[in-house]
Structure 1
Amino acid sequence: MSNGIPLTEAVLLSSALESILYGASVCMFGVTLRALLTKHLVTGTNHLVITAACALFLFSTMHVSIDIARLVIAFVRIGSANPEGIGPWLGNVSEKTYVLKSAIYVLQTLTGDAVIIYRCYKVYRSFWVVFGPCLLWCSIVATATGTLRTFATTGTNVFAHTNMIWISSFWATTLATNLTSTILLAYRIWRIDRSVAESRTSSSLIVVLRVVLDAGALYSVTLLSALIPFICKSDGQYVVLDMITPIISIAFYMVLIRVGLSRAANSSDTTRPSPPAVRATTVRARASTDSTTHDHYPMKPIEVHISELTEMHGSEIGGSDRFVFDKSV
């Protein structure tokens, strides 16, 4: 038997929080598309990244729509005839809408984890580096398949022994994939930033490093917040469970938006007008000779050498180290 917050209250609270996060993700999705399709950023745009952004938006929209439909069915249709039947219906994992929303959540998770593995591959340019995360991603597919199959064939609640084994394995492999990929990506960015730090006046990759770590931490903390109550067999896990789907989208959009803004700022700095180019010029001045007053003192040609120093912007030095990351985000 579960403990903690009642199931009906947990579902209502979860749907409300999910709707709020979904609204934030919709705004971020619009900003993300604008950042990806802006003219001065289009050179770093990758069609796979745009496809992933649209897929995450679609999955999160479907998930929140199903949750709203489940609330209507539970509290309007079932509750009007049998108020005591709301809780058992919401907790029935074999119910079609529950299996469908779980499948959408799995697709959202697979897409989000595949994106971060893809980013690792783009910065390392080596399949062997991401071989471990790829194996973990395949483990996610296997555990997710087992979870959905168990849901569809059993009529028990989510805390049944078989369900707990599959769900715990699914979340554990998801967490391991996210942490491994985030650490690999962050380490690579840090190494490149350190290697070119001496030739630059400021760190151009520290922003990217912070964004990657923030997104990874957000996703990992959310997973732990759902996994711990689930292991304790508390219905409080439902509060966080439905929030994970929009949070995956928010973490993805956050990286693109913040890196895009940083890239735009660097672009404006490099295109700012610089002082005129340095040229050594020779100015020859000839003074006219006044025949009436300077007959005895003719003026000789005067040569004046003027040198100007060209100023190099700090952002121009070591600027090529950002190119590899334009393709990875």
Structure 2
Amino acid sequence: MSSSAFPMPTAQLVALYMQCIFYGIDLITVAYGLRVLLWTRDGHFKGRTRITWIMVGTTIAMFTIATLEVALGLVHNLQAFIYYAGPGGPTVVFEDLSSWLNIVHTSDYVIQTFIGDGIMVYRCYVVYDRNWKVVLLPVLLWLTETVCGCVGVSIEATLHTSATLNEARLVPYITTILSLTLAMTTMTTGLIVYRIMQVNNSVASHDITRVGGNLRLTRVVRILVESGLMYTTSVVVFFGTFLASNNAQYGVSEVVVQLIPISFTLILIRADQAAANETSTLQQTSTTIHWNSGPVRLPVHAGVDGKASDRTRVAGSGTAISGSDAYMMDDMGPGSDGWHLELDSVV
């Protein structure tokens, strides 16, 4: 569909409608996500020491930006269709890129992606036991896309002309932002999935899968991939509409701002649901898997001589797990330190 077939006023009305739909989803998922972060499943407040305040602050910040974006969309449409009575009609208001409304719109997108992509890098960092070398390239991509976003906002603020996002001086920066976002999110998601599958293979190789199958960490992978794909797909669609110079890009970009907190909180919600299912299923087994506030690890128990042993023996089997097989996946979800999976041997 060409821009002439989808004029700017129509695109902006559709954009407001689309973001309101996703904002409703945002309201529900963020409320549920905060419940997971702040309260236990039986309804008790977790207490200040057990709450991951970084996750709480991130959730509130992203939701605040999403709320501001909806409010700005309403104000922008009111100004264009109700308050402006000059020549050119609503199109003049929407295509004034240097107006404070358009500048804040763009700033919201840059800030929201900065927070969302930063969380993905952070998760990758903690999954690899805080090894900064692993996330060096993703961090560089993340910072570069943020700098390009800031430069793009600066250029937009100084254009003082009637134009769309496809204005020649903005195209290189927006193209760079979207390209780096896709590269960074794909890379970090792939690294996280690879690390978790390493843990899964290590556990399976030591015959621990008999307590219920090796699907536990695979389930974690599925949660991450599905949530990541939702965000990545929206960026791909935005990129496509932008390259096609289609006014549908405005609606899609508004949806991206709403989808970032949705995909983030969905990980918390599904992790909590998985934890509840795991607890219910594994209560009858001799080996219990707890989703609690400790890291993903294969614990080290004392040896016969009372000294620390570097091997853990699975109850009822001759399999021993070495301490070198310990893996951590901190700060990934709703616990005081994130998602946590602990395998305890019950003798």
TM range (shorter): 0.7 to 0.9
* Residue type at the aligned position of 2:37: L
Instruction: Report the equivalent of 1:291.
Output: none
* Residue type at the aligned position of 1:141: T
Deviations along 1:111-140, one digit per CA (max 9) or x if unpaired, are 000111111111102010011110011101
How far apart, in 1, do the equivalents of 2:119 and 2:187 lie?
A: 13
> 1:177 aligned to 2:176?
no
Deviations along 1:189-221, one digit per CA (max 9) or x if unpaired, are 111112112312322111210111111111111
The structure having more radius of gyration, on CA atoms, is 1
Instruction: Report the equivalent of 2:159.
Output: 154
Structure that is richer in helix per residue: 1
- Would the aligned equivalents of 2:20 and 2:70 in 1 still touch at CA under 8 Å? yes
TM-score, normalisation: structure 1: 0.81
Instruction: Report the equivalent of 1:290.
Output: none
Could you tell me how far 1:312 is from its partner in structure 2? 1.6
Instruction: Report the equivalent of 1:312.
Output: 286
Instruction: Report the equivalent of 1:283.
Output: none
Deviations along 1:233-252, one digit per CA (max 9) or x if unpaired, are 11121121111111111110
- Would the aligned equivalents of 1:45 and 1:326 in 2 still touch at CA under 8 Å? no
Instruction: Report the equivalent of 2:99.
Output: 95
Instruction: Report the equivalent of 2:110.
Output: 106
- Would the aligned equivalents of 2:126 and 2:330 in 1 still touch at CA under 8 Å? no
Could you tell me how far 1:6 is from its partner in structure 2? 1.1
Q: Tell me: higher relative CO, structure 1 or 2? Use CA pairs within 8 A at least 6 residues apart.
A: 1
- Would the aligned equivalents of 2:9 and 2:91 in 1 still touch at CA under 8 Å? yes
Instruction: Report the equivalent of 2:238.
Output: 226
Instruction: Report the equivalent of 1:122.
Output: 126
Instruction: Report the equivalent of 1:208.
Output: 220
TM-score, normalisation: structure 2: 0.77
Could you tell me how far 1:83 is from its partner in structure 2? 6.8
How far apart, in 2, do the equivalents of 1:204 and 1:149 lie?
A: 47
* Residue type at the aligned position of 2:286: M
- Would the aligned equivalents of 1:133 and 1:177 in 2 still touch at CA under 8 Å? yes
Could you tell me how far 1:166 is from its partner in structure 2? 1.2
How far apart, in 1, do the equivalents of 2:50 and 2:264 lie?
A: 16
Could you tell me how far 1:325 is from its partner in structure 2? 3.2
Three-state SS of the structure 2 residue aligned to 1:109 is helix
Q: CA RMSD of the aligned region, Å?
A: 2.2
Could you tell me how far 1:62 is from its partner in structure 2? 0.8
Could you tell me how far 1:2 is from its partner in structure 2? 4.2
* Residue type at the aligned position of 1:70: H
How far apart, in 1, do the equivalents of 2:258 and 2:101 lie?
A: 18
Could you tell me how far 1:72 is from its partner in structure 2? 0.9
How far apart, in 2, do the equivalents of 1:236 and 1:82 lie?
A: 25
Instruction: Report the equivalent of 1:196.
Output: 203
Deviations along 1:170-196, one digit per CA (max 9) or x if unpaired, are 111111111111111111111111211
How far apart, in 1, do the equivalents of 2:327 and 2:101 lie?
A: 45
Instruction: Report the equivalent of 1:281.
Output: none
Q: Where does structure 1 differ by over 6 angstroms across 4 or more consecutive aligned residues?
A: none
> 1:131 aligned to 2:136?
yes
* Residue type at the aligned position of 1:188: R
> 1:187 aligned to 2:194?
yes
* Residue type at the aligned position of 1:251: S
Q: Identity, % of aligned pairs?
A: 25
Greater alpha carbon shift after TM alignment, 242-251 vs 37-46:
37-46
Could you tell me how far 1:228 is from its partner in structure 2? 1.0
* Gap regions ≥5 residues in structure 2: 291-295, 299-325, 334-347
Three-state SS of the structure 1 residue aligned to 2:329 is helix
- Would the aligned equivalents of 1:45 and 1:327 in 2 still touch at CA under 8 Å? no
How far apart, in 1, do the equivalents of 2:106 and 2:122 lie?
A: 24
How far apart, in 2, do the equivalents of 1:230 and 1:75 lie?
A: 25
How far apart, in 2, do the equivalents of 1:52 and 1:314 lie?
A: 32
How far apart, in 1, do the equivalents of 2:327 and 2:14 lie?
A: 44
Instruction: Report the equivalent of 2:303.
Output: none
